[in-house]
Amino acid sequence: MTQLPLTGTKVIDFTGVQAGPACTQMLAWFGADVLKVERTNGGDVTRNQLRDIPDADALYFTMLNSNKRSLAINTKSPEGREVMEKLIREADVLVENFAPGAMDRMGLSWEHIHELNPRLVFGSVKGFAEDSPWSDLKVYENVAQCAGGAASTTGFWDGPPTVSAAAIGDSNTGMHLLIGVLTALIARDRTGRGQKVSVSMQDAVLNLCRVKLRDQQRLEHVGYLEEYPQYPDGKFTDVVPRGGNAGGGGQPGWVLKCKGWETDPNAYIYFTVQEQNWPRTAEAVGHPEWADDPEYDTAAARQPHIFEIFGEIEKWLADKTKYEAVDILREFGVPCAPVLSMKEIADDPALRADGTVVEVDQKGRGTYLTVGSPVKFSDFTPDIKGAPMLGENTDEVLAGLGYDADTIHRMRAENIVL
């Protein structure tokens, strides 16, 4: 396939940090021409954050901005804003995730953008929805995890609310925005009219905590949650508790120790007791007698002593590595997986082979690893390229808008562009 699905789609990427860039990066992978518009003084803050090589853009930046071009311009200057307005007139999509009110303060309100280009789809990420009492707050990942119900329901019951390592506030919000932007583009192709697509990080986190809102209502109806470790001996209050590593659905599960756990922090598997697979599960872990024992043969009978069962399974696991254990359990249809470290993931040949872990060439750095598209297509495989240097494409973009070399030179001398 020579043309990618979004070839010809022009995207102004007025984003920073992670939520917005994650959305526009995927648009770029799928073929859109994504122009990252950045401040002249340093660009996206992530270029400088957590650097591992002194003069090279940080991995935080390169891993979220591949396949893009970069225009470095002061959009608060009258000439800079004029450039933005020209770009907006020609674009299909503009995505931003600045602090609340920043776009309006720059003179680029949705109303103005819509007037400049009624066909343009405008994607916007904020921490909270416009009508939220907290709509004026600046928000980063963990703030959103706390406000979206994830932190209060994550971790162990005897510890504090806990955030997840997964970027469910940032990248997840970007993915929600991506769905919205693509939907609005399809609508635009039918109606000729662009629209504003807004996603709040609080809402995007909550969308992934749907099952916890389920549990809140179950708790109110029955007073307990039988799949949580607090059942049957612990106390339930009127809020969904933190359930440690319990399985979130109707199939109990837990993280279980394997051979070597004393020294290897990841020598564990996740083990699921699948109701419909109980006899084979019992056989797999060396307790075939559990299949017909009334103490064990139904989920209801097992639940009160599920941790004894897990303890017995850990005895069976004691002389098996996590990989050996999974190899045995897979034969018996037990839903399970080894707990993989980031090092194991980076080295995993299968993840490399299917384009999920990708080695990318980056100017000024050499090669580095990134996560490729988790979405696979039968007609094409996204080709992940390097990220742009700050202002790498300033001249070609301005020339494309009709600015001559002298004007560009003057704008650079006046710090309007880099």
Active site residue 383: no
Active-site pick, 13, 33, 44, 170: 170
**Closer residue to ligand COA, CB minimum distance, 170 or 203:** 170
Other C-beta atoms closer than 10 Å to the C-beta of 373 total 18
Q: Where are the alpha helices (DSSP H) in 91-209?
A: 102-105, 110-116, 141-147, 171-191, 201-208
Give the integer Cα–Cα distance in Å for 78 and 72.
15
Among the residue ranges 37-45, 280-288, 359-367, 408-416, the one whose residues contact ligand COA (CB under 6 A): 37-45
Helix 19-29 vs helix 171-191: crossing angle, to nearest 10: 50
Q: Kindly state whether residue 76 participates in binding ligand COA, applying the rule CB under 6 A.
A: yes
Please select the residue that binds ligand COA; options are 16, 149, 241, 252, rule is CB under 6 A. Answer: 16
Annotate each residue in 191-220 with x if it binds ligand COA (CB under 6 A) or - if it does not, as one string: ----------x-------------------
# chain residues binding ligand COA, by CB under 6 A:
26
Question: Quick one: three-class SS letters along 239-265?
Answer: CCCCCCCCCCCCCCEEEEECCCCCCCC
Applying the rule CB under 6 A, the residues between 236 and 255 that interact with ligand COA are none
**Closer residue to ligand COA, CB minimum distance, 38 or 92:** 38
- The tokens for 402 are 């009709």
Q: Kindly state whether residue 306 participates in binding ligand COA, applying the rule CB under 6 A.
A: no
Mind giving me the DSSP string for 269-286? EEEE--GGGHHHHHHHTT
Give the integer Cα–Cα distance in Å for 66 and 389.
11
Dihedral angle computed from the Cα positions of residues 111, 113, 114 and 117, in that order, rounded to the nearest 10 degrees:
160
**Closer residue to ligand COA, CB minimum distance, 39 or 86:** 39
CB of 9 to ligand COA, least distance (A): 22
Give the integer Cα–Cα distance in Å for 57 and 342.
22
Q: Kindly state whether residue 47 participates in binding ligand COA, applying the rule CB under 6 A.
A: no
Backbone angles phi, psi at 225, to 5 degrees: -130, 105
Please select the residue that binds ligand COA; options are 140, 231, 236, 316, rule is CB under 6 A. Answer: 140
Residue reference for tokens 């080295």: 347
Q: Kindly state whether residue 49 participates in binding ligand COA, applying the rule CB under 6 A.
A: no
C-alpha dist (Å) from residue 225 to 39, 221, 250 = 51, 10, 11
Please select the residue that binds ligand COA; options are 138, 315, 363, 409, rule is CB under 6 A. Answer: 138
CB of 144 to ligand COA, least distance (A): 8
Please select the residue that binds ligand COA; options are 87, 92, 117, 127, rule is CB under 6 A. Answer: 127
Q: Kindly state whether residue 68 participates in binding ligand COA, applying the rule CB under 6 A.
A: no
Give the integer Cα–Cα distance in Å for 165 and 200.
19
**Closer residue to ligand COA, CB minimum distance, 173 or 230:** 173
Q: How many C-alpha atoms does 156 have within 13 Å on its Cβ side? A: 4
**Closer residue to ligand COA, CB minimum distance, 70 or 274:** 70
The amino acid that residue 20 corresponds to is: G
Annotate each residue in 95-124 with x if it binds ligand COA (CB under 6 A) or - if it does not, as one string: --xxx--x--xx------------------
Applying the rule CB under 6 A, the residues between 169 and 188 that interact with ligand COA are 170
Q: Kindly state whether residue 166 participates in binding ligand COA, applying the rule CB under 6 A.
A: no
Please select the residue that binds ligand COA; options are 126, 188, 242, 257, rule is CB under 6 A. Answer: 126
The answer to whether residues 358 and 371 touch, using CB atoms and an 8 Å cutoff, is yes
Q: Is the dihedral of CA 410, 411, 414, 415 positive or negative?
A: negative
**Closer residue to ligand COA, CB minimum distance, 20 or 243:** 20
Q: Kindly state whether residue 145 participates in binding ligand COA, applying the rule CB under 6 A.
A: no
- The tokens for 351 are 């993840």
**Closer residue to ligand COA, CB minimum distance, 195 or 200:** 200
Q: Is the link from the previous residue into 232 a cis peptide, with omega within 30 of 0?
A: yes
- The tokens for 7 are 């070839």
**Closer residue to ligand COA, CB minimum distance, 109 or 191:** 109
Q: Which residues of the shown chain bind ligand COA in the complex (CB under 6 A)? A: 16-20, 37-39, 73-76, 97-99, 102, 105-106, 125-127, 138-140, 170, 201
Active site residues: 170
